[in-house]
Structure 1
């Protein structure tokens, strides 16, 4: 809303503010206020920031606690402030100040519900966010669209990825790095004679997130379908953020119980022992949904006061019942060559049962959102250039 400030004709003026603790800037009839210490901390000059990296030279303890605005010079495009007690001069463009207005309008890092497009099953049924692997590789704009779908909607389905061993690694490395775990850099989801995880059976698997017993949890999961010649074995996805938001709207007290109760998740086999205590619904300091961890197979006994256990189990059941509502569960069948990329901190995945004698083989790996977000930002710069 403040971008119009660039169109205003403002002549050069100079005003003195007697040790003011803030700066007021007029922008299209509104007044933007910035604390003096905030201005000093964000000074863009070469004395304060490395011009090559943009990183700050000074820490907060290097800045005077009594920093004040002692003078202001303004043009139609820039504002220069003189800051006491050392007389340091800081120049800011008006567009930069407008873009960093202290109005809580920052969308943040895009990982909370604030930066997402929440969905129900009917919103996407018959119109999945998808793309062609060949187009994804050839067209930077198409890659931006697909990666943005993972960030905003929680997943994307890439079609016609070659049905070759290790191809899922190529998909992960197209935007980031494979996250190696005790399951290896890649893992095969198929029926095994002696499985160490129920995923490696033909049993139905209810909506869940993977590896909640890790901290940090793998934030992205990729599943590449190599073969799917079985009856059953359909894939299901649930927008966990939408489910958590519905729970908050329907029963805020239940939501608060789940957001405020650490749950012990664990996994162990002959070579591995992992544990992380995290709530089923994670929120940021502003109360916005940031993470869902839900995996009934991995929850260990909670050791809390009796009444808190009773409250938790009632809330846990309520959330579990909500997650399997037909209006939330999106179901579709993966075909050979389909590679599903999804946000493991948000989207719960499931599958229907299939016969152990069938031929169903998915190959998967884990990766992380930070690499995808970085690749997306760099690609956008190139596409927009």
Structure 2
């Protein structure tokens, strides 16, 4: 494993000062805080909103008790600083005190939930980790979580080939399962009565699961119990990388992927799911945070839609990237291998196989937010208790 992943998870991130805000409030509403030689302009209203005292917060849980309302709640009558500490008296009579440690803790929270991702193309298979070592905790678990956060894919080897084991493994990792309309733990093998192409021996092109939900599961585990058939090798491809390439090379097509809603449907004899959403989802700053793609589950777009022709050009370009073996990682899952994927980023699939021997896989879903939260907890970024309020 490359050292960058080990460093990403084991080393606690250094204290990062917040970026300068060019649209900061007038100087009268700013406190110039100096810490370790750095000057940080802090909004007075921010300082009031984040007051750490136990009048404003529930001491047991650190949740907010104070509800902002009146204008004079944010009017300061005096401000004192000493050795990095700040004390503010407000017109309401309330007193806010910050120690340097409390301010630093607030900045660490501001920087949470920002993935340090590494986009990738084809090449080597996903990194493998020992199941028992990862479940035992310590550095191996942190490295495994770091890889999932960075590349969106990793494999556990040596997972006991026992039906239902995936639930035991997920419990050991502290990752709760997410229910869908399929079974909690879903059996994937040749089944003439199956409702999905996965229940045949046909090849599965790259896809994400349950694009037919408005909010699809963001994490998936595919645990191979036995795989003695000829063929049926696995593949993964980075959807965020595919979208980024299209954004750089054909921005007008990328716009179609983020703006034109597409219908997806998955159903069985007694269940139904349908959602209509764009293929690519962005965060408020324009970063790619969601990707749904399943050629087999996609439903028609209205032929009269004025964007259809441009959207189809975008879809063809995207599909060409996703199905090109040069952009994929191909490998074989043997019995005892468990493939973890970020369901809003990494697409998975398999080659066709000959059902001339046993092939049995079980999969389940989880929320990828729990991967990030568990990683933060192990790295010390999620404190069990808040930093003590200043006296």
- Shorter-chain TM-score: what band? 0.7 to 0.9
SS in 2 for 1:349: strand
Q: 1:81 aligns with which of 81, 88, 91?
A: 88
Residue 119 of structure 2: aligned partner: 118
1:108 deviates by 4.4
Q: Segments of 4+ in structure 1 off by > 6 A?
A: none
Residue 145 of structure 1: aligned partner: 143
Residue 290 of structure 1: aligned partner: 289
Q: TM (normalized to structure 1)?
A: 0.86
Q: 1:131 aligns with which of 129, 132, 136?
A: 129
For the structure 1 residues 73 and 325, does the alpha-carbon distance in structure 2 shift closer, same or farther, using more than 3 Å as the test? Answer: same
Structural mapping, 1:161-310, within 5 Å: 161-174=159-172, 175-303=174-302, 305-310=304-309
Residue 21 of structure 1: aligned partner: 29
1:251 deviates by 1.4
Is the counterpart of residue 31 in structure 1 residue 39 in structure 2?
Answer: yes
Rounded to whole Å, the distance in 2 between the matches of 1:326 and 1:71 is 66
Rounded to whole Å, the distance in 1 between the matches of 2:317 and 2:106 is 41
Rounded to whole Å, the distance in 1 between the matches of 2:14 and 2:131 is 40
8 Å Cα contact 2:35/2:84 also seen in 1: no
Equivalenced residues, count: 363
For the structure 1 residues 65 and 327, does the alpha-carbon distance in structure 2 shift closer, same or farther, using more than 3 Å as the test? Answer: farther
8 Å Cα contact 1:23/1:69 also seen in 2: no
1:76 deviates by 1.4
For the structure 1 residues 70 and 253, does the alpha-carbon distance in structure 2 shift closer, same or farther, using more than 3 Å as the test? Answer: farther
For the structure 1 residues 100 and 179, does the alpha-carbon distance in structure 2 shift closer, same or farther, using more than 3 Å as the test? Answer: closer
Rounded to whole Å, the distance in 2 between the matches of 1:365 and 1:295 is 18
Rounded to whole Å, the distance in 1 between the matches of 2:183 and 2:16 is 53
SS in 2 for 1:115: coil
8 Å Cα contact 1:22/1:68 also seen in 2: no
Residue 56 of structure 1: aligned partner: 64
Rounded to whole Å, the distance in 2 between the matches of 1:336 and 1:115 is 32
Q: TM (normalized to structure 2)?
A: 0.85
Is the counterpart of residue 93 in structure 1 residue 92 in structure 2?
Answer: no
For the structure 1 residues 187 and 19, does the alpha-carbon distance in structure 2 shift closer, same or farther, using more than 3 Å as the test? Answer: closer
8 Å Cα contact 1:219/1:368 also seen in 2: yes
SS in 2 for 1:306: coil
SS in 2 for 1:214: coil
For the structure 1 residues 38 and 235, does the alpha-carbon distance in structure 2 shift closer, same or farther, using more than 3 Å as the test? Answer: same
1:253 deviates by 1.5
Residue 41 of structure 1: aligned partner: 49
Residue 329 of structure 1: aligned partner: 328
1:37 deviates by 1.6
For the structure 1 residues 294 and 158, does the alpha-carbon distance in structure 2 shift closer, same or farther, using more than 3 Å as the test? Answer: same
Q: Which runs of 5+ in 2 are unaligned?
A: 1-12, 18-25, 385-391
8 Å Cα contact 1:23/1:35 also seen in 2: yes
